[in-house]
Amino acid sequence: MTQIAFIGGGNMATSIIGGLIREGAVSPDLIHVSDPGAEQRERLTRDFGIVTHESNLDAISSATVVILAVKPQMMKAVLEPLQATLNTRQPLLISVAAGISLPTLKEWSGCTAVVRAMPNTPALTGFGATGLFASEEVSLDQRNLTDTLLGATGLAMWVQTEAEIDAVTALSGSGPAYYFLLMESMIDAGIKLGLSEETARRLTLQTALGAGKMASSSDVAPDELRRRVTSPGGTTEQAIATFEGAHLRDIVKAAMDAAARRAAELSDELGNG
């Protein structure tokens, strides 16, 4: 059986682990996580029944798949003491870190079969979205294993070039935060229009869920679904005109450009050392 080690047990690792266990994709005793935080480790054991370690070396000692889920800025320091073991054992290495390139990951880890994955936190619910890109040394079996693991947390898609991972980061990696910001804004505006906090929150969340479900389960494109809500001379028309007048599309484009640019910057900042 495949033993999986997560290095770093924070937000993204927790979401993937939760998704894997929720779907029954991996038995909890085959998931090992290392994290320096005692509270973090206790939470992971309590919530998921997985095996936790303070030492990263202990976590990877029998793993066939090692998932790197630490901040990009920590990656070099985390991999340095693991390099000899990883180089000898050659597990499939999957990094979820933004902006750390495959050549850099290979150099720092001593692994050849390396996958860059860009997941998102809705993985926890089974509705994650992940972009994947593999080094050429990744075998078909390892690709299939990657598909099985990340596919258990939602949609998993291979992209054609490594550069696309920065675009995926700007779109679906960071994307949940964009929707959460819109939700926050709608709740605040609903309260200002006279609703109670609870009413504004529950109606906002249900509307987000309904719109997401409708758009993803329908063959009808989002622009047509939007038109179907927008009665001529009605209320939605006024709201949409306000969004368009404030150049919402340009704002979204600028925001995603900034996120993708930051991913590339991280690669430049962290990749040379």
Ligand X SMILES: O=C(O)[C@@H]1CCC=N1
169 binds ligand X, rule: CB under 6 A: yes
Asked if 174 touches ligand X (CB under 6 A), the answer is yes
Give yes or no for residue 98 binding ligand X (CB under 6 A).
Answer: yes
* 115 contributes a contact to ligand NDP by CB under 6 A: no
Nearest to 253 by CA among 170, 152, 176: 170
114 has which bridge partners?
93
Between 53 and 166, CB nearer to ligand X = 166
Stretch that binds ligand X, among 135-143, 154-162, 166-174, 188-196 (CB under 6 A): 166-174
How many Cβ atoms sit within 10 Å of the Cβ of residue 211? 15
Instruction: Please choose which of ligand X, ligand NDP, none residue 145 contacts, taking the beta carbon within 5 to 8 angstroms, the exact cut-off set by kind.
Output: none
Identify whether the C-beta of residue 14 lies closer than 8 Å to the C-beta of residue 40: no
Residue 77's CB: how many other CB atoms inside 10 A?
10
Q: CB under 5 to 8 A by kind: which of ligand NDP, ligand X, none does 200 bind?
A: none
Which one-letter amino acid corresponds to residue 178?
Y
71 annotated as ligand-binding = yes
Number of residues that bind ligand X (CB under 6 A): 4
* Tokens 């073991």 found at: 85
Q: Which residue in 79, 173, 187, 200 binds ligand X (CB under 6 A)?
A: 173
Of 3, 5, 9, 133, which lies in the binding site for ligand NDP, with binding defined by CB under 6 A?
9
Helix (H, G, I), strand (E, B) or coil at 113: coil
Beta strands in 97-230 (DSSP E): 114-118, 128-134, 154-158
CB of residue 25 to ligand X, shortest distance in Å: 22
Cβ distance 204 to 182 under 8 Å? no
Tell me whether residue 56 or residue 174 sits nearer to ligand X (CB atom): 174
In the bound state with ligand X, the residue whose beta carbon lies nearer, of 5 and 12, is 12
Enumerate the β-bridge partners of residue 154: 128
- When asked if residue 74 is in the footprint of ligand NDP (CB under 6 A), the reply is yes
Site string for ligand NDP, 14-43 (x = CB under 6 A): --------------------xxxx--x---
Q: Is 7 annotated as a binding residue?
A: yes
Name the one residue in this structure whose structure tokens are 């960071």: 174
> Residue 130, exposed/middle/buried by CB under 10 A (0-12, 13-18, 19+)?
buried
Is there a contact between 62 and 85 (Cβ–Cβ < 8 Å)? no
Counting every residue, how long is the chain? Answer: 273
Which residues of this protein are in contact with ligand NDP, per CB under 6 A? 7-13, 34-37, 40, 56, 69-72, 74, 78, 96-98, 118-121, 173
Q: Which residues are part of a known binding site for NADPH?
A: 56
Q: Which residues are part of a known binding site for NADP(+)?
A: 7-12, 69-72
Which residues of this protein are in contact with ligand X, per CB under 6 A? 98, 169, 173-174
